[in-house]
Structure 1
C-alpha cells in the first residue's frame, strides 16, 4: 500500500490543469509575503480518497506558516504530511514531507518536497502543482496535481471547512 500511496502522491508537473500551474522557464517567483496567505490559518476538515482529511495551519510566525495534514480511512491513519510555507528572499516557498501512519518517512531523511510560488491572484495563491483558494472565511480549496502509477496526473480538489 505504501508504494501505491507514494506513486499516487508524487507530483507531476508535466500536465497543466484547470486550477494548478507551473512557473514558466527562465522566470523567478514573484514577490509575496505570508500576509498573502495568512487566511489559511485554522483547523480545517474535509473528505477525500475515501476518508476524512484534517489540515491545521498555524499563524505566520518566524517567517513561516506551519501545517499538518492527516488522512484517515476506515478509522486508521493512512498518512500524514508536515510542512510549511516560508518567506525566502521576498517570495514564498511551499515545502513538505510525507509520513506513514507510524511516522516513518516516505522521503529520504534530508529530502523535502519544495514548490515555488507562481503567482498571487486575489484569493488564490499558486505554487507549482498546488493552488490555495479562499472560498470564504470558513471554507478553502486546495488543488493539487497528483501523479498516478501509470505516469499520468490528475488535479484533485481538497475542500475544507472550519
Structure 2
C-alpha cells in the first residue's frame, strides 16, 4: 500500500495531462486472454516524449526468450527524477507487464521481492490493455501509454506521448 501511495503522490505532483477511460480493468475471476510477446514486437526501440513535468524516455529490447525488457527515465531541469525497470513476459499463455521503480540514486521504491504487476486484459493489433496500463501504437514512430494513478473518487490516468528516436 505504501508503494502505491508513493507512486500516486509522485504522479500527482508531476502530472501535466490527464485522460480518462483509456485503460481497462481485469474483472475479479477474469482470466487474461491468450497472447504472446511477438504481438508487441513493434514496441522495441528508443522512445522519447514529455510527461509528468519533464522528459520521459523508454528503451525496449526486441522480444527474446518470451520476454521484452525496458527501461524508463524521467528527467527534469537536467536531473533524473526516477527510473523504472520494466518487463513484459509470457505467463500462462498470456502476458504480464511488471516493473520496479528507483530513485535517481537507484534506491528502490518497492520491497526487495515485490513488483508492480499489470496482467493483460485485452490485446489488439495496435494496443495492449494491461490492468490499469495501456500501450498504444499510433504509428511506426509514435506511441502513447496511459497509466491509472488514481481510481477513487474517480478514475484518473496519466498519458505519456512518445516519439521514436531515430539512430
TM-score, with length taken from structure 2:
0.85
Q: Which whole-Å CA distance do the structure 1 matches of 2:4 and 2:32 have between them?
A: 32
User: Which residue does 1:8 correspond to in 2?
Assistant: 9
TM-aligned CA deviation for residue 9 of structure 1: 5.4
Indicate yes or no: 2:58 matched with 1:81: no
Q: Which whole-Å CA distance do the structure 2 matches of 1:52 and 1:79 have between them?
A: 11
Task: Assess if the C-alpha contact under 8 Å between 1:145 and 1:156 holds in 2.
Answer: yes
1:55-91 per-residue CA deviation (whole Å, 9 max, x = no partner) reads 0110001110000000001111000000200011210
Structure 2 unpaired stretches of 5+: 12-19
3-state SS in 1 of match to 2:9: helix
User: Within 5 A, what are the aligned runs for 1:8-47?
Assistant: 8=9, 17-47=20-50
TM-aligned CA deviation for residue 115 of structure 1: 0.9
User: Which residue does 1:13 correspond to in 2?
Assistant: none
TM-score, with length taken from structure 1:
0.88
Structure 1 unpaired stretches of 5+: 11-16
Note closer, same or farther for the CA distance 1:115–1:9 as it changes in structure 2 (3 Å cut): farther
Of the three residues 151, 155, 158, the one matched with 1:156 is 158
3-state SS in 1 of match to 2:7: helix
Indicate yes or no: 2:123 matched with 1:113: no
RMSD of aligned Cα (Å): 2.2
Of the three residues 101, 104, 108, the one matched with 1:101 is 104
Q: Runs of 4 or more off by more than 2 Å in structure 1? A: 2-10, 150-153
